[in-house]
Every structure is written in structure tokens, then in C-alpha cells.
Amino acid sequence: MKKGVLREKPFEFLRDKNGEKFPKETVKNWYKARIYVLEKLKDVAYAPNEEGHLQVIVENDTPIMLAVVRSVALYAHYLNFKEEDLFGNYVAKNRTVITLVSQNENIDAILKKEDCLCNLIDNFRWSKFGETHNTNSYLDIELRIEKESVEEAGAKIIRMTEKDVDVFISQQDEKDIYTIDTRKAIMANKMYELGSLIDNLPAEDIHCAKRYTMALDAFQYVLLKDEMLPLIDEAQWNADIRKVKNGISSILCADCFESRARAMGGGNKEKLRQWEKYNMELSVSEHARWVTERLIMGIRPLNAKEYFQYENLFDTKRAAYSKMLKNNIEDQAHLDICSFRDLRRINPGDMIYDSFLLLAIPRILEKIK
């Protein structure tokens, strides 16, 4: 394993649906927004049974502030989010609320662009000047577009302004802004691959954290000893946008490790039992984060016609159809873009990725401090 920090530039590889690279200024804003938002959210964490939610007020709708909205949506996912109540109704309790202060009547069209929130707009709860859309959304994040800054009673408030962003960025080293330490993401990627090796989901307990812990303990030493190769393989990333999106997914996932560890009371091995105990809450939160990230990356859920066709197929044909939709580069659709509750009944085999990865976090944080 290399001792030094591995810094890479992944966002430059992202492309739009037409295969065109995003403008350099947009990419720069993503990097700036990432480092700024992670800094602002560094003290925020909610334990699984804690009540309350975060409200982030983003003042102004300039490109950098829209990039900030995008980053908040990617990172502000907390463990106290509840998908449903005791009656099985979707309640989406303790959602993070992003309040965007804007006077622009067409702001929703701008937010829907690929460099901003893209498909998230069609799936999460959002409102513009009081008119609400997607009221039944299962996602743990909500956007409110207001003409004036409105603070919610009972919420933890974080205010983000363009001036604040500029001041923060001016104090940072350029290398720290425009490159990312990918070591944790590389480990996350390895753990994802390890999770995919477990293909015999125990039927008596389809969400068995204890067994995943055993598997992790059995294999981690081999994996952690491996040489840490860069996350970016330029040839592959230039040829296949799916590789780029998956790599960036690992980075975004790894960026949330610290906030998860804070909520668990620490990322050290002494707290492993906590991670096991709250594996369900962690998994729900991670799944919501993953869905948000996939939607922002331009991947969409299956539409009604595709669901109908999927349901009319059986066994291997059903799996092949779902894979075909996932691999369609022009218009990727993923079966797992749904609530965690639906994932459990539609595709429980994929629950393992969330569970496994989350149990690996304390081990990864212990290795990479």
C-alpha cells in the first residue's frame, strides 16, 4: 500500500447525454462546492434515534451557488431519516431541507439541467414559491425555492452565501480544491467488489449484519494489503461513462464516511457493535444518498412501461432486462432507484451493497486516517 496521499481529478471525466464534456467553469464550481459544503457540514450529524433535521439556506442562484445546492443534495444524508411510520405509510421524517433563495421564475428549468440536479427534480419533493411537487417522494432531501430566506422553526440552520464561498475558497490551497484524495473511495470500491462476491444471500435473514461482519473480517486483511492503485484508469474512463459514474459514486460515498462515523459516535473498531446494531438505519440513509447521487448523475428509475415489461419477464430474462436498461449508455435506468422498503421486496439481493459497505467504514477509517 502506498503511504502517500493519492490525489486525483475525477470530475473532468463527466460528460452530458450527448457525450460532450462539461464547461471548465462548471467543473471548477463542482470542486469548489464540494470542499466548501463538506467543510460547512463537518459538524452536522444525527444519531439514528435523534429527532430534528437540517435546513441549509442557499442565498442566490448564481452558478457557484447552484453547484452548492447540488453538493448539499449529495452530502446531507443523515441516519435519523425515517422512510415510513408504524402504519407503513411513507412519511419521510427528518428530511434535510435545502432552501434556495431565488427570484427567477424559470429556476426549475435551470435546476433540471444535467450540470445541476438533473433527474432529481422529477423524483424528490420540491416546491417553488409555495407550489409543491412530488409530494409522496421517498427521498430524504427536499428543496424549497423561496423569494426570501425563511428559517424553519426547530431545524438546525446553516446559511451559505456566495461571499462566504469566495472567502473560504480564497483561503484554500488550489491543489486541495481541484483534486480529491481518493484513498477512501478506492477502499469503498474494493468493499463494493467484495460485497458483490456474496451471491448466496442467507434466506433466514436477508439483512444479516453479523454475517457480513464475519465476511469482512475474513477478507479485509487480504484486500487492505493490496497495493492501492489510482481510482482513475484514464483509458477506461474516457471510453466508458459508466466507469466514470461508478468511480465518482465511490468518491461521493466516501465523502460521507466522516459524517456517518460522527453519528455512530466514532469510526474506530471499538464502535463496531454500534455499526452492526444500526445497520438498517445506516443502510436506509446510504440507499437514499445513492439514489440521490444516481439521479443527479443522469440515471433514472424505470418508467411504467419498463416496469410492466420487467414484471412480465421471469428469472434470468428479468435480470437480463434490468441489466440491459442499466447498461444503456444513452438513457440509463436503474431498478434500484426506489425506496429502501421497495428495494427489500423488489431486489433484496442488492441490499447487501449498502449493508456491507457501511460495515466496512470503521475499518476503512481506521486504515486511512
Partner 1 sequence: MKNRWWSFVGVLFMVLLAMLIVAYYKDNNVASWLKISTLTAGVTFVIGLCGTLTNIFSLRKKESGITWCQIIILLVIGVWIIGFVMIFDIQKSGSSTVVFGIIGGLLSLIFQDKIKGVVTFIHLRSNNLLGIGDWIKVPKYNVDGVVRKVTLTTVTLSNWDTTTSTIPISALQSDHFINLQYMSDGKTYGWRMSQSYIIDTDSFRPITNEEAEQLKSDEFNKSHNILGFLPEEEIKEGAFNASIYRLYLYHWMMKNPRISQKPRLNIRWIDQVDGGMPLLVYVFIITDSIDDYEWQMSLITEHVAESLRWFGLRLYQHPTSHDYQQRKGVEL
Contacts with partner 1 by CB under 8 A lie at 88, 203-208, 304-305, 308, 311, 341-342, 344-349
Q: Which is nearer to partner 1, 4 or 88 (CB)?
A: 88
CA 180 to CA 134: how far, in whole Å? 34
CB of 311 to partner 1, least distance (A): 5
Query: What phi and psi values does residue 38 have, to the nearest 5 degrees?
Result: -60, -35
- In angstroms, give the least distance from the CB of 283 to partner 1: 14
| CB of 274 or CB of 347, closer to partner 1 | 347
Contact 355, 275 (CB under 8 A): no
How far is the C-alpha of 111 from the C-alpha of 106, rounded, in Å? 9
Q: Can you tell me the distance from the alpha carbon of 269 to that of 324, in angstroms, rounded to the nearest whole number? A: 40
The residue among 112 and 318 lying less far from partner 1, judged by its C-beta, is 318
- Residue length of the chain: 369
- Extract the C-alpha cell encoding 245: 459514474
Question: In angstroms, what is the minimal distance from the CB of 317 to partner 1?
Answer: 14
87 vs 221, which CB is nearer to partner 1? 87
Q: Which is nearer to partner 1, 210 or 367 (CB)?
A: 210
Q: Which is nearer to partner 1, 203 or 222 (CB)?
A: 203
Going 327 to 333 to 339 to 342, the CA torsion angle's sign is negative
Residue 102 Cβ vs partner 1, minimum distance, rounded to whole Å:
35
| Cβ closest to partner 1, residue 52 vs residue 348 | 348
Q: Which is nearer to partner 1, 86 or 153 (CB)?
A: 86
Cell matching residue 37? 459544503
SS3 210: helix
Instruction: List the beta strands (DSSP E) in 64-217.
Output: 82-84, 90-93, 96-101, 125-128, 131-133, 141-146, 156-160, 180-181
- The C-alpha cell at 219 is 477478507
Answer for the pair 78, 140: CB distance below 8 angstroms, yes or no.
yes
- Least Å distance between CB 88 and partner 1? 7
Q: CB 332 → partner 1: shortest distance, Å? A: 22
- Say how many C-beta atoms besides its own lie within 10 A of residue 45's C-beta: 19
DSSP E strands in 161-205: the ranges are: 180-181
Q: How far is the CB of 202 from partner 1 (least distance, A)?
A: 9
Q: What is the distance between the alpha carbons of residues 330 and 347, in angstroms, rounded to a whole number? A: 24
- Residue 125 has a CB neighbour count (10 Å cut-off) of 19
* Sequence letter at residue 262: R
Min CB(205)–partner 1 separation in Å: 4
